[in-house]
Amino acid sequence: MSAEATSPGARSRRRGRTSIDLRRLGRAALLGPASRDRLPDAIGHVADAHRAHHPDADLLVLGKAYVLAEMSHRGQFRKSGEPYITHPLAVTLILAELGAETTTLTASLLHDTVEDTDVTLDQVRAEFGDEVCYLVDGVTKLEKVDYGAAAEPETFRKMLVATGNDVRVMSIKLADRLHNMRTLGVMRPEKQARIAKVTHDVLIPLAERLGVQALKTELEDLVFAILQPEEYERTRAVIADRATTGPSLDTIAVDVRRTLREADISAEVVIRPRHFVSVHRARLKRGEMRGTDFGRLLVLVGEDADCYAVLGELHTCFTPVISEFKDFIAAPKYNLYQSLHTAVAGLDGAVVEVLIRTHQMHRVAEAGVVALGNPYTPVDGAEPVDGERADPTRPGWLSRLLAWQESATDPDTFWTTLRADLAQDREISVFPADGGMLGLPAGATCVDAAYAQYGDGAHGCIGARVNGRLATLSTVLVDGDTVQLLLAQGPVPAPGDAGGVGGLGDSGGPGGERTGPVAGQAQEAAPGPSPEWLDHARTPAARIAIAGWLAANPESLKVPESEPRAPGAVTAGRRGVANVVVDVPEDATVRLAGCCTPVPPDDVTGFLVRGGAVTVHRAECSAVGRMAALGRSPVAVSWGDEAECRVTLYAESFGRPRLLADLTEAIATAGAAIVSANVEPPSKQRVRHTYTLQLPDAAGLAGLMRAMRDVPGVFDVRRAQHEPAP
């Protein structure tokens, strides 16, 4: 896993985490393994951490794994100059502190041997068994010489598929990335930024989904220090100059302890300081920070019932902030998290957030799936049914991910879709009318529910009932909804069938939903999905299935000659400019806003400005809120039929020779024309490029941005979102 050394964000490490003395480990590693009757000195600290969670653990296998790892990596050094064996030792210590069981620790000691040494998987299997071999294979990267640019996305695909069978694979990968991020400082700035960006987009969301908060929060701080160094330093200064207005957390903690002691409730009350990213978010949300904003109170008790007893006492003796109360014990989060959240105000009005949980809940909240040990150990000697292992840690999001990745055969499509899927950080549960439960990301619609329940059979969906009422397929579902999906009676043509029936002919309802016959009515053939369904689909499985059907049935996009053609995009009383159709006076001019440069199929809105002109903005543009605050009435806007568009992109990079030439070559290769370009003077070795580009088709925008990001030295490319600074 090629790890590097010394991180600029290392000072943001969580308090209390064991520090590894790399020099001591290096000396122990160079001395080689110890005698057979005792553990090698280098893994003594790992053994101590492991025994703290598993007192009866057999440590001989760890010593055996260390001997193989040390001999295999002997003579290899990290970029910091330390012996390479210090990396697998550090990864193993991270997992040992979280409470991982012996098999996971054995695999973590060996996780780089197959990738970086002459050790083979057959040797690992022969020495340590099938489970350790599977874990090592799961985290072993694919060779770049074999896969080229697709090596990274295909490696992650391989790890995710392996995680579907054994979640301990991803536990090792997360600990591996954490140590690499802690020791990233000797790398070139552009490589630091690239690794941090992948960590931010993929591994931090995976840590959140697997409930490993201890790793997730430290990874967030380390990424924050690299990708937003100015904000990181500002936040560090705010923490150093901690506000003293109002009572401190220590004072309120004393009051809470006294209250619970008087109520005869045995509880441990500790102060949980916020980590850097949490302080940064709180500062942006609240502005001026008070002393109680820099942390939370954590109350730990023995039993579930004690959690509610603590809650009752706090709400009785303090003033509760009702809007802040959440019960994640009765309704746990999708990542195994359980806790009561509340906030109370003291006599002087100072508000403090309080987390209430049992000691076991706290262990799972910190370590997530790692705290569950080996989820595949048979209970009471029971054998797996039909040769398969029941995995209690495999959540719905992982099952969905494994399902849609099979359809995303192209590595670029998989990589882009994976990042988009992981960006959705909440889940809901909906209930089909015929029983069962569907887990979907927040914001999912009836279209997503249809494909989650029926797969490709959802191509024939013609409507839905949500909580007993007819609803359009674009209806956004909320947690707890009951959904009945209405399917057409006739057969739906499979992708590639010659006789497919076009979806547009039946798309008369709002947003492209079917208004044709519902189940039970006769019809000649069932409709297929319309292109508008892509606007409503939020899950990758639905989007891939719809796009595949539309690509295989291009005739569904054509209007039959026997039917009257739709009227042109520009009608009486309207004026179309730059592929935009708006309701404006005939003599008004129309322009696309330069602050957000909307392109199809962005949601857009328009506003009349001085001189009678109409400016068209993306719906999420900050200027829209300012216009609304000024009392400006929006103008109806829609896109015309032309594919060509103009867009402004910002490219952030590190300065290097020929960077501008490489960027312009990438833009030209992607088929875009440069309308204007501006390169700002370097600041702290960073350069900002602003390009206004003309694209022959808006569909090529995502590919263009990926091509620009792939240019060495470029660490971010994004659409214009705000008014440029003067």
Catalytic positions, written as ranges: 115-116
Task: Give Cα 601 to chain centroid, integer Å.
Answer: 24
DSSP H or E run through 429: strand 427-432
User: Can you count the helices (H) and strands (E) in the chain?
Assistant: 27, 22
Query: Counting every residue, how long is the chain?
Result: 726
E strand or H helix at 64: helix 60-73
CA distance 450 to 475: 12
Please say whether the beta carbons of 619 and 605 come within 8 A.
yes
d(C-alpha 606, C-alpha 137), whole Å: 54
List CB contacts of 176: < 8 A, sequence separation 6 or more. 1, 3, 91, 108, 111, 139
Pair of tokens at residue 402: 């494994």
Give the burial class of 194: count Cβ atoms within 10 A of its Cβ; 0-12 exposed, 13-18 middle, 19 or more buried: buried
Judge whether 447 and 549 are in contact, CB under 8 Å: no
Which residues have CB under 8 Å from 300's CB, separation 6+? 267, 268, 269, 270, 357, 358, 359, 362
CA distance 415 to 397: 16
* Angstrom distance (rounded) from CA 309 to CA 301: 10
Q: What are the residues whose beta carbons fall under 8 Å from the beta carbon of 308, sequence distance 6 or more?
A: 340
Element (H, E) at 464: strand 461-466
Query: Which of these, 508, 511, 453, 510, lies nearest to 486 by C-alpha position?
Result: 453
